[in-house]
Structure 1
Amino acid sequence: MITVPLVLLMLGIAFLMIKFGKQKPVPMVFGVLVGVVLASTPAGPPIADGIEWFCQEALKAAQAGLNEVGKKVA
């Protein structure tokens, strides 16, 4: 489900990338609009679930790596 805060967050990130990241505005705005449209289709929830799963697995791997480093130091 697309919410106003999510759209504002996406636009805020796009603004920062344009201002400080030397990105051109037209592709960034187009990307935000395509993302909003895609998220509001039936394909949106599986994509969001996949991204969430990937982020959780990446965090687990990072935490496991940090735990290993902590064991070697101690």
Structure 2
Amino acid sequence: MLWRARNDIFQLIETAIVEGQEAGEIKQELPATMITDLIFNAVRLNQRYYDHPLEVGTLLYHVIFNGIGSDE
């Protein structure tokens, strides 16, 4: 039951990424499965390192939309 729910959520995230790629909102050269894995595992980090669920969500949002490169 839990694995089915996990797989359903995983598929929902991946579908949203593919739709974003098709709409030109997400780079198409990045595999949807890789992006999904990054998001899914980043959410798991929340259980280990962050005090509040929104903290990891905010940080993940910034990494996805701004990248990890410096502004210099």
* Band of TM-score, shorter chain: 0.3 to 0.5
User: Which protein, 1 or 2, shows the higher relative CO under an 8 Å CA cutoff with sep ≥ 6?
Assistant: 1
The alignment's TM-score, normalised by the length of structure 2, stands at: 0.45
For the pair shown, which has the larger CA radius of gyration, 1 or 2?
A: 1
Higher helix share: 1
What is the TM-score with the length of structure 1 in the denominator?
0.44
